Structure 1
Amino acid sequence: MTTPDDFTTEFIVDHTPDEVFAAINDVRAWFSETITGASAEVGDVFSFADEAITSGRIRVTDLVPGRRVAWHVEDAHDEWNDTTMTFEITRGEAGTTLRFTHHGLTPASACYRACSQGWTDCVNTSLRALITTGTGQPIPASVAP
């Protein structure tokens, strides 16, 4: 369930919902080069470890091609633990809108400022670049602990 305080960002691209969906699921190409595990099927689990962001284990909980992706953080060492991220994809006259929400990441969270900026960079810059140019800007493995 989304609350008004959950961190949300969105953008519009001139690409199909299926192209946006495929890019979201190529997590290593836009989020972090340290991703291990899989993210292609509901129930898949992937992990990451970076100095720049919290590390954790994430389970894919929902995949609706061209419409929606959802993840649940099962194990993290901070307030990300037991939170959910959703990617909602809609097609409109202006193009395809991708709306990302980190449910549970609110201004009351200790990491809100850094985490919301991190998500803005990962989603609005890196994921958008992957969709529009074919090349994302994931957090490099060189910043991993």
Structure 2
Amino acid sequence: MASKSFHATIKVNTSAEEAIKKINEVNKWWAKKVKGKSEKLNDQFTVDFGTTWVDFQITELVPNKKVVWKVTDCNLGWIKNKKEWNDTAVVFEISEKKNATQIDFTHAGLIPSFECYEDCKTGWTEHVTESLVMFINDGKGMPQ
């Protein structure tokens, strides 16, 4: 059986254009401490949780359809392999459906054999299916 990367699907009450804008406002739904820019192709930014931090580069940006954040470096402070996310990618694929916009979230490369998988799965589930949805729909997320 092939290992599958972590995936979640959400539906939000906004346009695809607005969804992409909100996704890129990382400090409003994921991490309060964000350095750099996360708006355009090749932008680089860091999410900082203290001893845990992750550097990203936007490597793909298709207006109203897709954004990809490649992990260029990281320090996952709570596990042995602190660089486990290196060369993985966070992918948001957006499609407008009847009466809603669907966002397919995949952390490509975050697979069940990773040491952090269960903790990361829990974190992404909370941040994507709760905080990001709240931020897009109601204007207020729950960044950490």
TM-score by length of 1: 0.88
1:7 maps to what in 2? 6
2:64 maps to what in 1? 66
Q: How many angstroms apart in 2 are the aligned matches of 1:102 and 1:91?
A: 21
TM-score by length of 2: 0.89
1:20 maps to what in 2? 19
The DSSP-based 3-state class of the residue aligned with 1:35 is strand
User: Does 111-120 or 41-50 show the bigger shift?
Assistant: 41-50
User: Does 89-98 or 32-41 show the bigger shift?
Assistant: 89-98
Instruction: Give yes or no for contact 2:3–2:112 (8 Å, CA) kept in 1.
Output: no
Q: How many angstroms apart in 2 are the aligned matches of 1:40 and 1:7?
A: 24
1:106 maps to what in 2? 111
1:142 maps to what in 2? none
1:75 maps to what in 2? 73
Q: Which runs of 5+ in 2 are unaligned?
A: 76-82
Instruction: Give the Å deviation of 1:49.
Output: 2.0
Question: 4+ residue stretches of structure 1 with deviation over 6 A?
Answer: none
Aligned residues: 136
Supply the AA of the counterpart residue of 2:20: F
Q: How many angstroms apart in 2 are the aligned matches of 1:97 and 1:30?
A: 17
2:47 maps to what in 1? 48
Q: How many angstroms apart in 1 are the aligned matches of 2:12 and 2:69?
A: 22
The DSSP-based 3-state class of the residue aligned with 2:127 is helix
1:92 maps to what in 2? 97
Q: How many angstroms apart in 1 are the aligned matches of 2:63 and 2:142?
A: 23
Q: Deviations over 1:41-95 (max 9, x none)?
A: 11111012215x8412110111122111100000013211110110000111251
Q: How many angstroms apart in 1 are the aligned matches of 2:99 and 2:41?
A: 30
Q: How many angstroms apart in 1 are the aligned matches of 2:39 and 2:26?
A: 10
2:80 maps to what in 1? none
Q: How many angstroms apart in 2 are the aligned matches of 1:94 and 1:112?
A: 33
Supply the AA of the counterpart residue of 1:27: V
Q: CA RMSD in A?
A: 1.5
2:78 maps to what in 1? none
Change (3 A) 1:54 1:115: farther
Q: How many angstroms apart in 2 are the aligned matches of 1:111 and 1:91?
A: 32
Q: Deviations over 1:81-124 (max 9, x none)?
A: 11011000011125110010000101000000000110111111
Task: Provide the identity percentage.
Answer: 35
Q: Which runs of 5+ in 1 are unaligned?
A: 140-145
